């Protein structure tokens, strides 16, 4: 059994980490011993749920309890400082996505992990889904032939229960839809295809944080078009077109892919079970992916997770996008532009 401490007891920790931690604490794999949050109410929800947990006043007090693993689920602008402090205190760290709000901060965190000899992973839970793993194997095996294009269209009306309007302020360090949902999307694309060789980007920020954005990415001969939204319902579908067929994956489907090959459509395929190397547990939903992720932490199988170094290309793409930002067409802002 390992001792785990949690930094940041907000909605992502309450909705996803706490249930997963409860499952694994019930099996004797770990125990939650300390929690930290500026909101006494948020911290108390964890204390009430985990018998060995106690709320502490600050990060030094949390690290003084000497946990084996620290889960950092605070707002992204605090990740770099808190992760580096935990690593230097001798803890392994699982950090919520995004790893950091900039690539330089991400590199500082990775350097700290390598300097201290501790492990640093990022909560890219979509990699735990059987469907995304199966699609990666399909791409690597060349089943679809040469990949011509990728279309990713994600989003919907924003309903996340934020605790503060800082979430939507450019200086709040949380970013907009690109840094939020886009981190998941870019992680999958770089996991499947490698690092992009060129990037074009446009959004509707106009001095604030973006609610909608578009990216055009090039991966060798493959063109990827990504559209993300926080204010209108989208298909939430990934479509990969190759010279021998196409694959479709819907974001809410943990186990199902649609595969249509030129020599005959296969339709919807349910994928299950571990990879050939046994590196993933069966999971049927997004919540189960959090259990799989934390089970890897509890059993010391950190190689099954996304390392801090693996997360750096995503931070670099986000930085490039914001640096070359263009404004999306918004004809409704022009006189006579229509609806």
Query: Residue 251 is part of a domain; what is its CATH number?
Result: 3.30.360.10
Let me know whether 207 and 188 are in one domain.
yes
How far apart, in whole angstroms, are the C-alpha atoms of residue 256 and residue 115?
41
- CA-to-CA separations, 322 to 71, 103, 179, in angstroms, rounded: 28, 12, 10
How far apart, in whole angstroms, are the C-alpha atoms of residue 318 and residue 245?
30
In a domain? residue 301: no
Let me know whether 152 and 273 are in one domain.
yes
In a domain? residue 335: no
β-bridge mates for residue 269, sequence order: 257
Let me know whether 115 and 186 are in one domain.
no
In a domain? residue 289: no
Let me know whether 118 and 131 are in one domain.
no
Let me know whether 111 and 229 are in one domain.
no
157 contacts 233 by C-beta, under 8 angstroms? yes
Let me know whether 176 and 322 are in one domain.
yes
Overall size of the chain counted in residues = 339
How far apart, in whole angstroms, are the C-alpha atoms of residue 49 and residue 127?
28
4 contacts 69 by C-beta, under 8 angstroms? yes
Per-residue model confidence (pLDDT) at position 79: 96
43 contacts 36 by C-beta, under 8 angstroms? yes
117 backbone φψ class: left, alpha, beta (φ>0; ψ -120 to 50): left
How far apart, in whole angstroms, are the C-alpha atoms of residue 53 and residue 202?
45
Per-residue model confidence (pLDDT) at position 159: 74
Let me know whether 179 and 313 are in one domain.
yes
Per-residue model confidence (pLDDT) at position 273: 56
Let me know whether 99 and 142 are in one domain.
no
- CA-to-CA separations, 236 to 157, 252, 315, in angstroms, rounded: 12, 8, 22
β-bridge mates for residue 288, sequence order: none
In a domain? residue 293: no
Let me know whether 81 and 136 are in one domain.
no
The count of structural domains within the chain is: 2
For CA atoms 37, 58, 3, 130, the dihedral sign is positive
Pick the last residue of a domain from 125, 160, 189.
125
Let me know whether 184 and 194 are in one domain.
yes
Pick the last residue of a domain from 98, 125, 152.
125
In a domain? residue 208: yes
Let me know whether 203 and 244 are in one domain.
yes
In a domain? residue 299: no
42 contacts 17 by C-beta, under 8 angstroms? no
Q: What is the CATH number of the domain that holds 10?
A: 3.40.50.720
In a domain? residue 273: yes
249 contacts 237 by C-beta, under 8 angstroms? yes
Range of the structural domain that residue 16 is part of: 2-125
In a domain? residue 288: no
Per-residue model confidence (pLDDT) at position 66: 97
Strands (E), the chain: 2-7, 30-36, 54-55, 69-72, 92-95, 120-122, 147-155, 198-203, 212-219, 222-229, 237-242, 245-250, 256-261, 264-270, 306-307, 326-327
Let me know whether 106 and 135 are in one domain.
no
Nearest of 209, 237, 214, 243 to residue 226 by alpha carbon: 214
Pick the last residue of a domain from 125, 143, 173.
125
Q: Divide the 339 residues of the chain into consecutive groups of 10 and give the mean pLDDT of each group.
A: 95 93 95 96 94 95 97 95 98 97 97 98 94 94 95 86 72 80 96 94 91 95 95 90 95 90 73 55 77 94 96 96 91 65
Task: Answer whether 0.75 is exceeded by the pTM.
Answer: yes
> Kind and range of the H or E element at 41?
helix 40-49
């Amino acid at each position: 059994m390992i001792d785990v401490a949690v930094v940041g007891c907000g909605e992502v920790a309450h909705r996803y980490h706490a249930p997963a931690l409860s499952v694994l604490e019930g099996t004797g794999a770990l125990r939650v011993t300390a929690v930290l949050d500026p909101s006494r109410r948020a911290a108390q929800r964890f204390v009430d749920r985990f018998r060995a947990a106690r709320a502490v006043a600050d990060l030094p007090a949390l690290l003084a309890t000497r946990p084996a693993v620290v889960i950092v689920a605070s707002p992204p602008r605090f990740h770099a400082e808190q992760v580096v402090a935990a690593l230097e205190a001798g803890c392994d760290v699982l950090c919520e996505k995004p790893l950091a709000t900039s690539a330089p901060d991400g590199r500082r965190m990775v350097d700290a992990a390598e300097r201290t000899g501790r492990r640093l992973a990022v909560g890219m839970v979509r990699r735990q889904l059987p469907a995304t793993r199966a699609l990666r194997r399909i791409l690597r095996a060349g089943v679809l032939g040469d990949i011509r294009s990728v279309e990713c269209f994600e989003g919907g009306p924003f309903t996340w229960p934020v605790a503060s309007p800082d979430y939507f302020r450019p200086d709040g360090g949380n970013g907009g839809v690109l840094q939020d949902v886009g981190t998941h999307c870019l992680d999958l694309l770089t996991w499947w295809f490698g690092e992009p060789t060129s990037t074009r980007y446009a959004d509707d920020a106009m001095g604030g944080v973006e609610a909608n954005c578009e990216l055009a990415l090039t991966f060798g001969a493959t063109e990827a078009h990504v559209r993300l939204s926080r204010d209108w319902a989208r298909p939430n579908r990934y479509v990969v077109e190759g010279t021998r067929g196409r694959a479709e994956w819907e974001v809410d489907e943990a186990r199902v892919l649609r595969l249509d090959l030129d020599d005959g459509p296969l339709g919807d395929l349910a994928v299950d079970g571990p990879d050939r190397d046994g590196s993933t547990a069966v999971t049927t939903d997004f919540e189960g992916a959090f259990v799989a992720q934390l089970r890897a932490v509890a059993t010391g199988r950190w190689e099954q997770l996304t390392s801090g170094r693996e997360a750096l290309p995503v931070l670099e793409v986000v930085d490039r996008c914001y640096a070359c930002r263009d404004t999306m067409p918004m004809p409704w802002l022009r006189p006579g532009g229509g609806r």
